[in-house]
Structure 1
Amino acid sequence: MTNAGMPPAQRLALRKTSAGVVASAVLALTLAFSGTASADELDDRKAAIENEQHKVQETYEYLDAESSRKVAELAVYQQQLPGAQQALADAEGRVSAAAGKVSALTDRVALAQETRSTISAQIEKDQAAIKDTQQVIGQIAAQAYKSGGVPSSFSLMLGADGADSLTDSMGLAEQVLRGQNATMQQLSQQSATNVNSEARLAAVEEEISTLKGQAEEALKAEQQARDAAAAEKAKVDTLIEQTAAANAALEARKPAIQAQLASLETAKAQATADIAERQRRLLEEARKAEEARVAEENRRAAEEAARNNRPAPVPGVASTKPTNPSAFGLSLPVKAPISSGFGWRATPAGTIDFFGTGGYLHSGIDFAPGCGAPVYAPASGEVWRADQGQADGMIGTGNRVVLNHGVIGNSALATNYYHLTKFVVSPGQWVDAGQLIGYVGTTGNSTGCHLHFETVLNGELVDPMGLL
């Protein structure tokens, strides 16, 4: 949530560059939350972006609100792209399968229709042959009845030269009729078989046609699903292209931003060096005071030994043993859990590494109790600074307070409080432990109300958790 722990160069630079990417971020959000998406889908997508933004803010704290949202959107859309690609591939696979099924059923219908046409033609042919055979039989019977024999035309058909007697003629007629009857019987049986086959084929054809209709409906539905998947992927592609273009614009400004970073990093280092120099002087004064105290004790001990005729005692030596930092007895400056800790932060994937080092050090800890929450002095001390951070170039800190908690043993401690909505103390003022010094805010380069709390021990920024 905080930005103060980052070198102010990055904070100020990215605040300046965020205006250039806001348009892309807003456009991306407009596209992402428009169209025919359901309310639940919009809520899920918005929640994903907000969750990703929270991660980005925790990791890359010098980004302001607009820039962190842009980075979060890019991360979310890049995460959505594989799913959109897979959904499109799956839809295209289903369309292909459905089209193959329709094609196979179409071929089966065509084959059934072709077979039925062949059988129908055979039935017509058989019916014609039956009709001709019936006609021949009728003619033979009529002629045989009238003339008492087989007409000469039928004798020739049977390969006979004629009959020498009526008996021969009648026998020949009977033979012809039997042959014609056998032929007609075969034709009738074949015709009945063909009719049954045609009926069965008609039923099969109707069933296949029904399946084909269903398959065509399924194909239409799959094509619609594919088109929807393609549209979603195109939307994700567009969003990625827009956010990537904004990222590229930021990358193009990298040299200028790095120059600003260097300038403000110098200001950050100078501010810490100022505290370090003050602490060095305090430690030197404390060392001299301790040496003077020990020297005075040695002198008195020697005088006492001389008066009592005792051997001179071994002179004492001022202690140089490091003091345990917990000796300062710091308490929490606000009543809230820690929202972000002290330590190295890796540069998030897909974002610009302005330092080229892969990350940065978050030099304090953050509390997020809400806007206006009171901030208390964790230990007694002198107010060294109560300003807006501009005196030494620390613009990104917003309203700040710096407390000097003095020297204990061989350690000097100062504490910093950034992004206050306001402070209620003045430089040079002495405050007691637990005394109100200001209120939590979001001034300076901050993405939300919080307190950035730092501890400077003997000129070095250290993890406050080691002193609390």
Structure 2
Amino acid sequence: MVSAHPRQALKPAQRKTVIGVVASAMLTLTLAFSGTAAADELDDRKAAIETEQQKVQETYEYLDAETSRKVAELAVYQQQLPGAQQALTDAEGRVSAAAGKVAALNGRVALAQETRSTITEQIAQDQAAMEDTQEVIGQIAAQAYKSGGVPSSFSLILGADGADSLTDSMGLAEQVLRGQNAAMQELSQQSATNVNSEARLAAVEEEISSLREQAEAALQLEQEARDAAAAEKAKVDTLIEQTAAANEALEARKPVIQAQLASLETAKAKVTADIAERQRVLLEQARKEEEARIAEENRRAAEEAARNNRPAPAPAVPPTTPTNPSAFGLSLPVQAPISSGFGWRATPPGSIDFFGTGGYLHSGIDFGASCGTPVYAPASGEVWRADQGQPDGMIGTGNRVVLNHGVIGNSALATNYYHLTSYVVSVGQWVNAGQLIGYVGTTGNSTGCHLHFETVLNGAMVDPMGLL
């Protein structure tokens, strides 16, 4: 007899747990791809682009709003693509795991069915053997009862040539019956074994039913996983398309933007050169005035020495050591945190290098103030410019004010204020330290409210932090 070991079937409570987990997973997957989730995802994408756009504005001071948004979109797509690709890989892994589970369950079902077939076949064979033996015993008993002995056919079966007397015949019958009773006892034992086999068969049947339920649930989860993987694949494909489209759009605009940048750089250089020339004139005038003052002091000292009949003192000379910039005593032009510092800006990896030089110089600092925030003169001075970036072509500055703070020692200082909503001073006007000159805005090349503040010391752009 072939022995088979049926696998342990799940208990009803365990089956409920499995079904609950399957239902929970299906509900989670359903919600994940609902319209609400898709809408939330779009809102998140929009918010991410707006946040990135502010970073772009801080990184690329010179970009217009349209280009700045396109750069922000490209950055967001590039940031989201690795995560989407990983999500796709994870989803594909879940598909593989689910398919493996389905295959394993199907294998267990096949094995259980094979065990069922084996047990069923053995039970049928044992039952047929019992019936045959019982039939033979019945025939012997009936014949012996009727004839008072063992029929010749059974004598031949037992190997005897025949019975000479009734005693011999009865002895032979007893011998046959004893043999058949022993066989019957063995069959009774087999019958008890078959009862156990039938119980095992019932357990196998229950296991098959449970495994089929698990296999169906696993197959459904596999389909859900495949749907999820397909959705993730669509996200990746969409991101790749969006990234490529944004990159192509920026590449297409690159010549136009570079031309605009060249124009802005030319205008900016012109403005800086104009300020530098004005400061050179101021410094030259201050130098001459200082030399004249010292010459006059030397003349008076010599005359005084001659009148008193004593040696003339050594003539004084103008100082040549640089003046400490902090001597101008600048205060903050606006009460707001600094959102972007002064210095070289390297082009972020994966971004368009519009300048073609790997970056550019951010020639001032940005204060992250809201539009309408008052801007005050950080020190007294004369208004050199108060306009909309004209006539030197500095449209990108928006509304601007340029203050001349004059000369201290050997240094001349001017300060620039860009992107103002409006200004309240005019050219040639004298302003005192702390006087209102305008309001923070987002005019010119700006996509968010802020103040771009520059300091020009002796004709060169310097970090305002060294003067504040």
Q: TM-score, normalised by structure 1?
A: 0.85
Structure 2 residue 375 is the aligned partner of structure 1 residue 375: yes
| Superposed displacement of residue 46, structure 1 | 4.8
Which amino acid counterpart does residue 291 of structure 2 have in structure 1?
E
How far did 1:343 drift?
Answer: 1.6
Verify: 1:147 aligned to 2:175, yes or no. Answer: no
Amino acid in structure 2 at the alignment position of 1:116: R
Distance 1:375 1:100, change over 3 A: closer
Question: Secondary structure at 2:421's aligned position in 1?
Answer: strand
- 1:188-243, Cα deviation, whole Å (9 max, x unpaired): 32233123113213213313431441343144235414522441342143124213
Structure 1 residues 371 and 115: alpha-carbon distance in aligned structure 2, compared to 1, 3 A threshold: closer
Map 1:323-342 onto structure 2 (within 5 A).
323-342=323-342
Equivalent residue number for residue 190 of structure 1: 190
Paired residue for 2:444? 444
Any idea what SS the aligned residue of 2:412 has? strand
Partner of 1:268: 268
The structure-2 alpha-carbon separation of the partners of 1:69 and 1:263, relative to structure 1 and needing over 3 Å to count, comes to closer
CA contact (8 A) 1:336 1:367 kept: yes
Residue number in structure 2 paired with 1:12: none
- Give the Cα separation in 2 of the matches to 1:403 and 1:73: 38
Equivalent residues in 2 for 1:29-178 (5 A)? Answer: 35-37=35-37, 45-178=45-178
Preserved CA contact (<8 Å) 2:384 2:402 = yes
Deviation at 1:439, TM superposition (A): 1.8
CA deviations over 1:144-168 (Å, ceiling 9, x no partner): 2322322122222222222222222
User: Is 1:386 aligned to 2:365, yes or no?
Assistant: no
Superposed counterparts of 1:345-356, under 5 Å: 345-356=345-356
Structure 2 residue matching 1:366: 3-state secondary structure: strand
SS of the aligned residue for 1:37 comes to helix
Question: In the alignment, residue 179 of structure 1 is paired with which amino acid?
Answer: G
Distance 1:465-1:243 versus aligned 2 partners, 3 A rule = same
CA distance 1:81–1:96, shift in 2 (3 Å): same
Number of equivalenced pairs: 436
The percentage of aligned residue pairs carrying the same residue is 88
Structure ranking higher on relative contact order (CA contacts 8 Å, 6+ apart):
1
Counterparts in 2 of 1:47 and 1:155: CA distance versus 1, 3 Å: same
Deviation per CA, 1:17-58, whole angstroms, max 9, x where unpaired? xxxxxxxxxxxxxxxx99441776666555544443333332
Give the corresponding residue for 2:22. none
Counterpart Cα distance in 2 of 1:44 and 1:255? 32
Q: 1:59 to 1:193 in 2, by over 3 A?
A: same
2:71–2:246: 8 Å Cα contact kept in structure 1? no
Moved more, 189-198 or 417-426: 189-198
Alignment of 1:271-286 (within 5 A): 271-286=271-286
Give me the whole-angstrom Cα distance separating, in 1, the residues matched to 2:121 and 2:356. Answer: 85
CA 1:105–1:374: 2 relative to 1, 3 Å: closer
Q: Report the AA paired with residue 328 of structure 1.
A: F
* Structure 2 residue identity aligned to 1:387: D
Provide the C-alpha distance between the structure 2 equivalents of 1:311 and 1:146, rounded to a whole number of angstroms.
177
Question: Could you say if the C-alpha distance between residues 34 and 305 of structure 1 is closer, same or farther in structure 2, counting changes exceeding 3 Å?
Answer: farther
1:116 touches 1:198 (CA, 8 Å); kept in 2?
no
The 1-side partners of 2:118 and 2:253 are apart by 79
CA contact (8 A) 2:254 2:354 kept: yes
Tell me what 2:217 maps to.
217
Q: For residue 239 of structure 2, give the secondary structure of its aligned residue in structure 1.
A: helix
Counterpart residue number, 2:24: none
Secondary structure at the aligned position of 2:37 is classed as coil
Q: Distance between the aligned counterparts of 1:71 and 1:263, measured in 2? A: 21
One-letter amino acid matched to 2:320: T
Rounded Cα–Cα distance in structure 2 between residues aligned with 1:45 and 1:242: 12
Question: Within 2, Cα distance between the matches of 1:442 and 1:43?
Answer: 25
- Partners of 1:246 and 1:109 in 2: how far apart? 53
The equivalent of 2:15 in structure 1 is: none
AA at the equivalent of 2:354 = F
Look up the SS of the partner of 1:311 in the other structure. coil
Tell me if the contact between 2:78 and 2:243 (Cα under 8 Å) persists in the aligned partners. Answer: no
Please tell me whether the aligned partners of residues 77 and 236 of structure 1 are also in contact (alpha carbons under 8 angstroms): no
**Distance between the aligned counterparts of 1:62 and 1:240, measured in 2?**
28
Give the aligned partner of residue 357 of structure 1. Answer: 357
**What TM-score do you get using the length of structure 2 for normalisation?**
0.85
Look up the match of 1:249. Answer: 249
Q: Give the drift of 1:413.
A: 0.9
1:409 corresponds to which residue? Answer: 409
Distance in 2 separating the partners of 1:236 and 1:69: 21
Given that 2:370 and 2:449 are in contact with CA atoms closer than 8 Å, whether structure 1 keeps it comes out as yes
SS, match of residue 372 in structure 1:
coil
Deviation at 1:352, TM superposition (A): 0.5
Tell me which amino acid in the other structure corresponds to 1:192: A
Report deviation, 1:169: 1.7
- Residue 267 of structure 1 contacts residue 394 of structure 1 at CA under 8 Å; is this kept in 2? yes
Q: 1:371 to 1:408 in 2, by over 3 A?
A: same
Distance across 1 between alignment mates of 2:115 and 2:380: 104
Q: Which residue of 1 aligns with 2:318?
A: 318
| 1:424 counterpart residue number | 424
Worse overlay, 294-303 or 221-230 = 221-230
Shift of 1:173: 1.7
Take 1:142 and 1:439, find their aligned partners in 2: how far apart are those partners?
126
